[in-house]
Amino acid sequence: MQNRANSLGNSNVLNLANRISQNGAAYPHLTADHYSQLRQQELAIELTQKLQVSLEIEDIINMLLLQIRKLVPVDGISYEYLPLNLSFATPVEGKHKACYQLDLEKEELGLISFSRRMRFEEEELASIESLMACLLYPLRNSLKYHAALLAATTDPLTGTGNRKALDEALSHEVNLAYRNDTPLSVVMFDFDHFKQLNDNYGHQFGDQVLKEMVQEIKTVIRKTDLLFRYGGEEFMLLMHKTSLENAAAVANKIRNHIADSVIQFDKESIKVSVSVGVASLKRGDISSSLINRADRAMYQAKELGRNRVCTEVQH
């Protein structure tokens, strides 16, 4: 019966399952197991078709959940893929979980978990797994899509956002700040005497400085703050819902943290510093005017002796 159902084609399998559901008495030779298998086939075909319409992780995980709920009571679902820092979870989470490490052709695709208040029975897990099989290829395509997007907006050396990502994020944050009437501040910083560091120790050391100091900066800032490489040894931090004074306080923490750090290179212990400029959004600002004021404040910090923070108030 299983082989015959497969040979009928997708639309006929769907119709047959519907007919069995509505007229079970007409098919006395079909057991509950047969019907369950046909129902799973029907839902798998529906899911496969639905998964073709989106490359967004949240969309396809939600599609899977909705389809699984037609077979098995499930309260919540979560998914994470650490290489791209992707995660998604429904608001509701149950006490009992069924977790799966997803992979396809030796390629890891992340971790997915289902939860609910009651334990999962083996038959229910089998039903969940039958539909999860439909997820693997669409999920891999989605991950490749997101990896390409990330590569296009990420600085390959430091892992921060690149200039393209900065332009898009700043435009979005400016519009959001105006719409919600919330503060927005930018912090621009430049590593002092960076050309001299490159000349004395080589560009490999310069690269090491940028990579290590970016990691140090990330230990100071909030998860909601956005860090970008503006160009060369210049970086910019976007801080939404942050006043000029609070942004300046964070800037000083960054400056102190970097000044206290020691970089080991070729048996030498080397210290670096940054000059920092801070500006906050004013009525009538556009992205470029906000950046220009932060840039001017940063160069004032350099003129005043480097390794310091200046805000636009000092102009």
Residues labelled as active-site residues: 233
CB atoms within 10 A of CB 7: 9
Q: What angle do CA 165, 167, 169 make, to 5 degrees?
A: 65
Structure tokens, 247: 């942004």
CB atoms within 10 A of CB 287: 19
Structure tokens, 171: 């435009």
Q: Are 154 and 161 in contact (CB under 8 A)?
A: yes
β-bridge mates for residue 161, sequence order: 154, 228
CB atoms within 10 A of CB 241: 15
Rounded to whole angstroms, what are the CA distances from 260 to 126, 248, 269, 271, 314? 56, 18, 12, 8, 26
- E strand spans, the chain: 76-81, 86-89, 96-104, 107-116, 184-191, 226-231, 234-240, 263-265, 268-270, 274-280, 309-311
DSSP summary character for residue 118: S
| CA–CA distance, 184 with 162 (Å, rounded to integer) | 20
Query: Looking at the chain, how many residues does it have?
Result: 315
